[in-house]
A and B are shown apart, each in its own frame.
Chain A
């Protein structure tokens, strides 16, 4: 299996616990460092003066715009920046040094591409111009092969945005995740779903 394929497979295991799944990560933070950094980031964010460790101010502006294009607010939950995704990304790329080059080079690629098309950095483009730029790289199968680097970056950034968004309290509430609680009595699958799928209960005796 080619590494990218296997990463796809493993990544899709996502919400499942596959035996033996691991993500590559060289850690720089200890657990207490991480806790402190997260607390400080959260406090700074609520004060509105978060200062990224990894991103430059220009990069960070682009990160915020891109993240909210990927996950905007709707009537069920807020946007990526509402959920603290840019702060999350700043932490993760610091924590996982292997991600630093793809992130930095990708953001640089986007600015080069924006300048080529519209003569301005991505952040300095208009909303309509940004949509134009992102439209060109957001659908891998449909994209111009010459933009492959941009497509790969956008896939990477989309994934990281999702990790940062759906793992928050608000993201989990939006998904309707009902677990991580004490369950006194396990009753199995939802009966209406068993019927909808035309399935049968286990033939053996259960709790």
Chain B
């Protein structure tokens, strides 16, 4: 195999083009640095490669999922839990489903644009309940960068002043859909708060990007760039500086280091020619996703870093977290047979239920929020599957549910859009015992050693999801609906998702002031290699229950600003 070393020495090499990598590249290139970015997948442009406005009937699959597109064939994210030639393994008896994107923009092409700030409590969990650790920084340290992200990217929401849900610089939110108003009425009966959602989707033109046109298809890639993804918001201005070079199809192998143990660049396999390359750089920023970043560091062994780069503490890969998840759905007689209306809206709910149990006595740590789904969306594969379980709920049918013919045909029309669901997303407590490590026996098709996962939920997570199940079920009843599925038992884990399924992985390369306990300092700079930084979800000390992207963006900007300061001071 040839090994090709780039003649250029860049100021910064960034691994990953998603939220963390895109933001780091944007800030650093704007500040005058020459930046090279490695992306494991191909280039991708939502305007030309996405499927916005594609009718499901144009495909014989009618939008069904495939292994390559687990969220539907028109989904705008290339990747999934299984990628051919890129295996991962598990400790016996454990589960971790690892979703990876392989494309420009990474998983910013796959997310609900739910952009919740971590609040003051989310940075000091240990102080509040003795579990996990506090962050070395507080909300007030990150707040200025949250503000900057709001202003650069654009986000809608309402300034609610709700506990531990800091307000941002919001655009006006869209009015709720019919089923969302029904949720609000039911929640009000229970004393459960409902807020306007906070999504990074433009409800008016912002920084040269047009407003949303309410087709509900953010997940397919927005051709007008009216929502946030790294390639639509961060990479164009970075490229316009003339100082960003993007190398696509570059599967990073390891961070190269010199005799002092400082980073000198990144080696990678070019997926097109399968040859080995190295880009050289004075500073390395890792933003490959929490687990890929940990894998890169653990694979970057050298005499100075025998356990892997930035791993003098031995905790790289540890404290791996995902959100907990569970879904409950109900069917609602009020919504049956309603007058047709365009309910597409933005690509996500217009409302959400924040964590409301923070001041209640309960038998578990940390909280969750509820995401709401429903409405008369574009019919796709699976349309009203299982109708025989519900078409006798609101009408007397002597023979029960099911049937065929004219009556059934009318039932489909009437039941369309009558289901409303609640998906809980909860905080998992950070634990040393939940980790990924290098599997000594398995390599991927590039010859790069792969990760082995060992992750388990604890009672904190199970009991939290039990609470979420019960609250969601009570909501369905308060709204006057019928719950579609029985309450899962304790033996069924109360219906908790497999870890990894919610795709909020964080915490493998955490921050901390003590180099013996954390790989990174309070600026996400490696304690034992001063020119190595991490800007994805890996530095998170806790997960909160909140979708991670907004915090990744704010933290990445903060870290990149710090890199600029260090560079200007000659400290790198």
Which A residues contact B (CB, under 8 angstroms)? 1-2, 5-9, 11-23, 25-27, 31, 34-35, 37-38, 41, 69-72, 74, 88, 91-92, 95-96, 134, 138-142, 154-155, 158-159, 162-164, 166-169, 171-172, 174-184, 186-190, 192-194, 197-202, 204-207
Distance in angstroms between the alpha carbons of A159 and B387 in the assembled complex: 8
B67–A194 contact, CB under 8 A?
no
Distance in angstroms between the alpha carbons of A174 and B403 in the assembled complex: 20
Residues of A within 8 A of B346 (CB): 186
Cβ of A160 to closest chain B Cβ, rounded Å: 9
The 5 closest A-B pairs by CB, nearest first: A188-B175, A11-B385, A176-B340, A141-B400, A179-B344
**Contact (A15, B417) CB under 8 Å given A41-B60, A158-B388, A181-B215:** yes
Looking at B331-339, B511-519, B557-565, the stretch in contact with chain A turns out to be B331-339
Residues of B within 8 A of A187 (CB): 175
Residues of B within 8 A of A181 (CB): 215, 342
Residues of B within 8 A of A205 (CB): 158, 172
Cβ of B221 to closest chain A Cβ, rounded Å: 15
Checking B215, B373, B402 against A17 with a beta-carbon cut-off of 8 angstroms, the contacting residue is B373
Distance in angstroms between the alpha carbons of A197 and B336 in the assembled complex: 11
Residues of A within 8 A of B383 (CB): 14-15, 162-163, 166-167
Per-position binary interface string of chain B over residues 171-204, scored 1 when its CB falls under 8 Å from any chain A CB and 0 otherwise: 0111111101110110000000001100000010
**Contact (A200, B342) CB under 8 Å given A162-B384, A179-B377:** no
**Contact (A167, B386) CB under 8 Å given A206-B196, A207-B175:** no
A190–B178 contact, CB under 8 A?
yes
Whether B303 sits at the interface, judged by CB under 8 Å, is no
Distance in angstroms between the alpha carbons of A12 and B389 in the assembled complex: 10
**Contact (A15, B416) CB under 8 Å given A162-B387, A188-B174:** yes
Residues of A within 8 A of B486 (CB): 1, 5
Residues of A within 8 A of B371 (CB): 19
Distance in angstroms between the alpha carbons of A57 and B55 in the assembled complex: 31
Residues of A within 8 A of B402 (CB): 138-141, 154-155, 158
B60–A186 contact, CB under 8 A?
no
A163–B382 contact, CB under 8 A?
yes
If over half of A's interface residues share one DSSP class (helix, strand or loop), that class is named, otherwise mixed; here it is: loop
Sample of 22 A–B contacts (CB below 8 Å): A1-B492, A5-B485, A8-B385, A8-B386, A20-B501, A25-B67, A37-B60, A139-B399, A139-B400, A141-B401, A154-B402, A169-B57, A172-B57, A172-B379, A174-B413, A182-B215, A183-B213, A186-B203, A187-B175, A189-B180, A193-B339, A204-B173
B382–A14 contact, CB under 8 A?
yes
Residues of B within 8 A of A15 (CB): 375-377, 379-380, 383-384, 416-417, 419
Distance in angstroms between the alpha carbons of A91 and B184 in the assembled complex: 42
Checking B214, B325, B421 against A186 with a beta-carbon cut-off of 8 angstroms, the contacting residue is B214
Residues of A within 8 A of B94 (CB): none
Distance in angstroms between the alpha carbons of A59 and B379 in the assembled complex: 28
User: In B475-510, which residues have CB < 8 Å from any A CB?
Assistant: 484-486, 488, 492, 495, 497, 501-502
User: In B293-346, which residues have CB < 8 Å from any A CB?
Assistant: 325, 327-329, 331, 334, 338-346
Residues of A within 8 A of B53 (CB): 180
User: In B421-441, which residues have CB < 8 Å from any A CB?
Assistant: 421, 423
Checking A5, A14, A194, A197 against B384 with a beta-carbon cut-off of 8 angstroms, the contacting residue is A14
A179–B215 contact, CB under 8 A?
yes
Cβ of A4 to closest chain B Cβ, rounded Å: 9
User: In B63-114, which residues have CB < 8 Å from any A CB?
Assistant: 63-68, 70-71, 73, 112
Cβ of B420 to closest chain A Cβ, rounded Å: 8
Residues of A within 8 A of B67 (CB): 25-27
Per-position binary interface string of chain B over residues 537-558, scored 1 when its CB falls under 8 Å from any chain A CB and 0 otherwise: 0000000000000000000000
Residues of B within 8 A of A176 (CB): 340
Distance in angstroms between the alpha carbons of A9 and B328 in the assembled complex: 8
Residues of B within 8 A of A141 (CB): 399-402
Distance in angstroms between the alpha carbons of A23 and B383 in the assembled complex: 12
B219–A16 contact, CB under 8 A?
no
Whether B62 sits at the interface, judged by CB under 8 Å, is yes
Checking A34, A166, A177, A182 against B61 with a beta-carbon cut-off of 8 angstroms, the contacting residue is A34
Distance in angstroms between the alpha carbons of A189 and B344 in the assembled complex: 11
Residues of A within 8 A of B154 (CB): none
Whether B270 sits at the interface, judged by CB under 8 Å, is no
Residues of A within 8 A of B485 (CB): 1, 5-6, 8-9
B178–A13 contact, CB under 8 A?
no
**Contact (A23, B423) CB under 8 Å given A141-B401, A192-B339:** no
